């Protein structure tokens, strides 16, 4: 007899393709399809931001509360593009202008309430079930926005096991202890071994303390998080969980149907066996941004424009890259200072620098397809998806050797080129000098088109799907329930 599928409640503040500000959304949206063949069926609980309910079509109410932190709330179930979604409809918390976290450049003033509410509802569903008679075997909480789920379950005496995944430890969900009561958190647990974080409360820390297990999105990032340079103050609690064998580093994959150069409707299609059409995509990208044919590689950057992503390093070293024959197209938004400086760079090199400030998923597809190189000089990178998409599209990743970047790109050293394992360029000194040196190596290798084609072929043949990692999650969930 077929075994019943086990149930995961995945709790997150974003989920592709509905709401996305970064890699978290991709993971939350892609993991369910990879887990299902392994016996785990997922429902995703997320806020019903403005317009979402209209977009998803028919929904069914499966949970309600007259007073969820100051207003009425319902959870509405629906299916959307293969995902089983539970949308938390609480107008007093989510129905307002702005993005998921920010409005007019500032955090929503009550983010701690908005996401504590999400976590509270997740815990209620895990404990009481829904009106369509569903209760999870495991709760998978993502980042600080879902960090309080394990705590709420613990305070309620629930034994439903939880996994908290850290996608980026730099965001910690911090607020003052005067809010504890309002958020149904007990003051008796406000101490350094639990909710307290330097006299404040951190929802991420709460999750790291209370979850049954914790994980991060790459093995290297898991190790890095135990160190002061990367732990953003939480290295102590991560180290404690690691020492008890309760920390896993599980590499992200990408959705290889969404990201498939052989079928992508945005581009001239190609694949590893026959990448010839990549040239047409390259030409199309040059045309789209009115760039001249470069003698060197055409690089792309697709990123949030922040300090983490090393945008300042790019600003320092791109002029040298361009003057040695390279060209670059940048897509991103973020820090106004970086946006301005990139605008200046584009004005200085109109034939070699394309710039689109904003968020544009479709354009990103055309960029990965047209690019020779994708640049990822991050100061830290929990996993990173752009280098994985680069591999998938034969856009050679040039990355800082940190976190998931280190785990997914094999440097084009003479040895790795010779033994056929190289897939990109990495640099360990994460500063302008390190980036400049790696860019120089890429320009040199590009002069040998046969070697470049070989490297691209190895990149195109690198597996970047969820297969292996989904199996690791499934094993972890199975351990948690048994
Ligand atoms: P992070 O989650 O830290 O932002 P990741 O590399 O994990 O970084 O994920 C970034 C994802 O968001 C990738 O899928 C990338 O293609 C996409 N992305 C980032 N910025 C933009 C943008 N401006 N337009 C379109 N897609 C973007």
> Is the CB–ligand 1 distance for residue 360 below 6 Å?
yes
Which of 14, 364, 399 is the best mutation target for the ligand 1 pocket, counting ligand atoms within 8 Å of the beta carbon and taking the most? 364
Contact between 120 and 154 under an 8 Å Cβ cutoff? The reply is no
Mean pLDDT over 368-397 rounds to 98
Rounded to 10 deg, the angle between the 361-370 and 278-288 helix axes is 120
Comparing CA positions, the residue from 437, 311, 332, 316 lying closest to residue 377 is 311
Tens-digit pLDDT profile for residues 306-324:
999 999 999 999 999 999 9
CA atoms 380, 44, 256, 80: torsion sign: negative
Cα of 23 vs centre of ligand 1, distance in Å, is: 6
| CATH for 278-460, options being 3.90.580.10, 3.30.390.50, 3.90.550.10, 3.40.50.2000 | 3.40.50.2000
CB atoms within 10 A of CB 236: 13
Task: Give the annotated binding-site residues for ADP-alpha-D-glucose.
Answer: 20
Residue with tokens 């689109």: 356
Domain ranges of the chain: 6-253+466-481, 278-460
Tens-digit pLDDT profile for residues 80-113:
999 999 999 999 999 999 999 999 989 999 999 9
Cα distances from 333 to residues 244, 266, 322, in angstroms, run 40, 22, 22
Comparing CA positions, the residue from 111, 136, 154, 183 lying closest to residue 10 is 136
pLDDT over 70 for what percent of the chain? 99
Of all atoms in ligand 1, which is nearest to the CA of residue 368? Answer: 16
Mean pLDDT over 109-121 rounds to 98
User: Alpha-carbon distance 420 to 148, whole Å?
Assistant: 46
Tens-digit pLDDT profile for residues 142-165:
999 999 999 999 999 999 999 999
pLDDT at 399: 98
User: Alpha-carbon distance 410 to 407, whole Å?
Assistant: 8
What is the DSSP track for 6-61? EEEEEE-S-BTTTB-SSHHHHHHHHHHHHHGGGTEEEEEEEE--TTHHHHH---EE
pLDDT at 3: 67
pLDDT over 90 for what percent of the chain? 98
Of all atoms in ligand 1, which is nearest to the CA of residue 24? Answer: 2
Contact between 389 and 377 under an 8 Å Cβ cutoff? The reply is no
User: Alpha-carbon distance 227 to 213, whole Å?
Assistant: 19
User: Token pair for residue 363?
Assistant: 């354009």
Cα of 303 vs centre of ligand 1, distance in Å, is: 5
Confidence of residue 65 (pLDDT cuts 50, 70, 90): very high
Of all atoms in ligand 1, which is nearest to the CA of residue 376? Answer: 6
Of all atoms in ligand 1, which is nearest to the CA of residue 333? Answer: 23
User: Alpha-carbon distance 114 to 474, whole Å?
Assistant: 30
What is the DSSP track for 144-185? GGGTTHHHHHHHTT----EEEEES-TT---EE-GGGTTTTT-
> Is the CB–ligand 1 distance for residue 304 below 6 Å?
yes
Pick the residue whose CA is nearest to atom 22 on ligand 1.
359
User: Alpha-carbon distance 93 to 49, whole Å?
Assistant: 9
> Is the CB–ligand 1 distance for residue 26 below 6 Å?
yes
> Is the CB–ligand 1 distance for residue 332 below 6 Å?
yes
Contact between 143 and 203 under an 8 Å Cβ cutoff? The reply is no
| Exposed / middle / buried, residue 71 (Cβ in 10 Å: 0-12, 13-18, 19+) | middle
pLDDT at 105: 87
> If you average pLDDT over every residue of the chain, what do you get?
97
Q: Which fold has domain 6-253+466-481?
A: Rossmann fold (3.40.50)
User: Same CATH topology for 6-253+466-481 and 278-460?
Assistant: yes
Confidence of residue 2 (pLDDT cuts 50, 70, 90): low
Comparing CA positions, the residue from 7, 11, 167 lying closest to residue 85 is 11
Q: Which 8-state DSSP code applies to residue 262? A: T
pLDDT at 1: 46
């Amino acid at each position: 007899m077929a075994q019943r599928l086990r149930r995961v409640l995945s709790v997150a503040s974003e989920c592709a393709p509905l709401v996305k500000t970064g890699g978290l959304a991709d993971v939350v949206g892609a993991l369910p399809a990879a887990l299902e063949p392994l016996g785990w069926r997922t429902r995703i609980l997320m806020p019903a931001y403005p317009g979402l309910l209209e977009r998803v079509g028919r929904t069914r109410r499966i949970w309600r509360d007259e007073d969820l932190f100051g207003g009425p709330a319902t959870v509405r179930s629906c299916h959307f593009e293969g995902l089983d979604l539970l949308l938390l409809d609480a107008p007093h918390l989510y129905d307002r202008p702005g993005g998921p976290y920010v409005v007019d450049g500032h955090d929503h003033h009550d983010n701690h309430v908005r996401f504590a509410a999400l976590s509270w509802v997740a815990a209620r569903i895990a404990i009481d079930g829904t009106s369509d008679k569903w209760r999870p075997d495991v709760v998978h909480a993502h980042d600080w926005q879902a960090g309080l789920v394990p705590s709420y379950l613990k305070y309620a005496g629930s034994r439903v096991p939880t996994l908290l995944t850290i996608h980026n430890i730099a965001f910690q969900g911090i607020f003052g202890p005067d809010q504890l009561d309002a958020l149904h958190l007990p003051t008796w647990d406000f101490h350094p071994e639990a909710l307290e974080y330097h006299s404040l409360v951190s929802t991420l820390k709460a999750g790291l303390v209370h979850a049954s297990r914790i994980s991060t999105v790459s093995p290297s990032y898991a190790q890095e998080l135990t160190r002061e340079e990367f732990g953003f103050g939480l290295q102590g609690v991560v180290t404690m969980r690691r020492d008890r064998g309760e920390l896993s580093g599980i590499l992200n994959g990408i959705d290889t149907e969404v990201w498939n150069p052989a079928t992508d409707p945005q581009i001239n299609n190609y694949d590893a066996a026959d990448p010839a059409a990549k040239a047409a995509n390259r030409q199309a990208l040059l045309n789209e941004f009115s760039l001249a044919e470069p003698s060197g590689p055409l690089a792309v950057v697709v990123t949030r424009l922040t300090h983490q992503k090393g945008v300042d390093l790019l600003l320092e070293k791109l002029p040298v890259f361009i003057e040695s024959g390279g060209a670059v197209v940048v897509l991103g938004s973020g820090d106004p200072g970086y946006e301005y400086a990139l605008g200046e760079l584009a004005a200085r090199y109109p034939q070699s620098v394309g710039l689109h400030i904003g968020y544009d998923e479709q354009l990103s597809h055309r960029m990965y397809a047209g690019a020779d190189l994708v640049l990822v000089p991050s100061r830290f990178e929990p996993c990173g998806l752009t280098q994985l998409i680069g591999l998938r599209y034969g856009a050679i990743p040039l990355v800082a050797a940190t976190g998931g970047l280190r785990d997914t790109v094999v440097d084009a050293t003479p040895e790795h080129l010779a033994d056929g394992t190289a897939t990109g360029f990495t640099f360990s000194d994460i500063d302008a000098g390190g980036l400049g040196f790696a860019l120089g190596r890429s320009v040199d290798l590009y002069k040998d088109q046969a070697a470049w084609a070989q490297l691209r072929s190895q990149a195109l043949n690198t597996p970047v799907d969820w297969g292996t990692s989904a199996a690791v999650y499934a094993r972890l969930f199975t351990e948690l329930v048994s």
